[in-house]
Structure 1
Amino acid sequence: MRLDRLADRVILLRPSISLATAADPPQAGGPRPLLFVEGEPADFDTPEFVKEAARQALREGWTKYGPTGGLPELKDCIRQKLSDENGLVYGPDEVVVTVGAKQAIFNALMALCNPGEEVLIPAPYWTSYPEQVRLVGGTTRILRTDGPSWRLTPGRLAEALSPKSRVLILNNPANPTGVVYTREELTALATVVERADLWVIADEIYEKYVYDGRAFTAFASLGPEIQQRTVTVNGVSKAFAMTGWRLGYAAGPASLIRAMTLVQGHSTSCANVMTQRATMAALRGGQESVQTMVAAFQQRRDLMVNGLNRIDGIHCPRPEGALYVFPDVSRLLEGGSVGAPLRTSVELARYLLEEAGVAVVPGEAFGAERAMRMVIAVPPEQIEEALVRMESCLQRRIAR
């Protein structure tokens, strides 16, 4: 027996390169690395009232197993949030609490996809979507969209359909592009979804991060028929700077939620009970901390977009939401520059790390080779220093 033989499903998985460009330190004597990689509020902490709720939970003995699908009190808070903020009404058996939003997506795919059935994923996409589909035995069908708008259109969705199409994953606001779909755009997509009898996994974890006065629309809010074929995924990681607490949730039809809970019961069981109690406080508390972060990140977005667009060879659209910019770097990959050519976004990311000490995520990770992703949720002074370093580094490569 070969003890080093692993299952095919693991061997075929591709590692996330979201952190790979920052995994190795720059060369000795190089600049201090500035990280624009992890999608979390870097300099905002979890609100103090949420931390105190966790401490109180510990004092009260909330340290035992809880129900697999979540504490009933927390599920009530989630239902209230969905009703008040999104106009969605769910029963107690239509909500499940998960270990982060990522687990909610995985559980939904496990419950919905048989081997060989297709999951439609608009590109650019979050790196884990295709790998989760691969893990559950589904088939990924990538739907290419065009920059700089990067919007999935009804025509593109209809073109991609086949008899095996089962699920559409729709991320709104979108990581990495910052696209925020209007209600009219979502309604047009919903028409195709209904006609094709698709399920929709609506990943809405960046719901709070919309800029310039835009409105967010939950996909399931488009009507009763759409709500019955949608699993809404959300959580508190981004909105309350709670990425390390690992708390997400999903809402959908009771039969699907039961299946997702069954999957969870044989993997992680319940989410951390202390975290669930803290999340109740977050959802019941005020939105002041969220509003503060949104205002700060909008300013930082503008700082970064304006600075990147001053660098020869980079074109950066202004994202409408989420925590990222996704500039086009085609000119930097087209030759006509001094030094060894940079042929791929991975090579560009490595160059920026080694020569400028700036860690970005190559567009290849998101299915968009001629782009790169940078997080805007970092201190302004870090953005300013990175822009200076990048401009100095890259201007040497552009042929004059």
Structure 2
Amino acid sequence: MKNPLYINFLFFIGNLKYYAIILCVPLLSFGQSIKVSAYGFNTDDNKKSVYKAIRNNDTIIIDKQDSEWLVSPLKFRNLENKTIIFEKDVIFRAKPNAYVTTSDCLLKFISCKNINIIGNGALLTMNKEEYVDGEWRMGLSFMGCSNVVVADFTIANSGGDGIYIDGYKALRYSENIRINNVVSTNNKRQGISIISAKDVWVKNSVFTKTKGTLPEAGLDIEPDKDTDVVINVNFEHCSFTNNYHSGIVLGLDNLTDKSEPVSINFIDCYLSMNHDISNRYPKAEIIVSSRPNNPVKGKVTFNNIVVDGSKWGLIYSRKPSDAYHTSFKNLSAINICQQKDNMSVIYLEVPNYFKSSGPIGGFSFENTYVKFDSKSTFFTIRGSSLGTLNGVKDITGHIILEAPNLTEFKRYIKYNPNKNINFDINYTLKN
């Protein structure tokens, strides 16, 4: 019998397209409004029309035409109180051969406030096959922005990330960003990247088929510097599938214990068949990382998560135990470790092979169900020949395993388990 959490989640995925977009009325601005075509529609390039319409009006409607809206790169600075509405079936496409600079984006917003972008199912698309250099031609880019709503789009074929969120100069982070009912597909670098942000809610969205340049993840939360922040970032009812790297990457290596503590939550999310064998990065559905020494503090929670099918394991990490705690509650991972025998569901590796580091750990598991058929291990702990792994610490919980070919629950490589501290996890093996 399949796990009930798995069945309920499949019901959600099958009905994802029926989720309503609920937007708070106060966020929307319906002042002076105009259709962009009033400024002219050109089958070659509509950059000037779109730019003027957005600059000069409160509510801007990108209206359906007989052909696509082709645009050169659009960049907006210091916009405030704008609502941009795309009519149903609009295709808003990057003009071919017009995105010459590697940082050219389809729509880039810098230091903007109170921006609502409503898609009604519109397609924002670029021409990924053109972009042989660079990895920063984003579909939607928000830098140092606040109070932003993005809803009901497909974002495809960018030369970088489908969605990119960061700070800008003195504005260390973007804040109060709401993304709902978005499909981000076939983008070159990431489905979505979060570099520095506070109060982010991403709901009812799909991040899939990322391919082109490393990392190629569905989601990558990866600050650039220790002054960046990742505070109250939430993903709810989202799926991460068929990406060429992991579905979810928490790349928090550039934050330190002097950085503001992180808070990240995943609720009712779904992962499936992430990471391609051609990608040289670690192979797992979820990557959890931080710096080896003096890592950032905080908390990451995964609640009601389903992993349905994977060639690889569930989690890969080199995170020290004194970094942010990571908890899994109501996790169901089935049909994983498909690629070959001698794999591991959870693989923990020494942070530094040449310098003393660790202990690694800081994980808890509650109501966790895992099913696989290969001859594999549950935990692998890899140390180093130089003995630089200073222990495994604070890993707790109970696992329900349906694994007829389980080789061993804990496997140690070049590491003495006598160094373990509070590695208090056990399992029940189902027949």
Pairwise same-fold verdict (TM > 0.5): no
More strand by share: 2
Query: TM-score, normalised on structure 1?
Result: 0.22
More helix by share: 1
Bigger relative contact order (CA 8 A; separation at least 6): 1
Query: TM-score, normalised on structure 2?
Result: 0.21
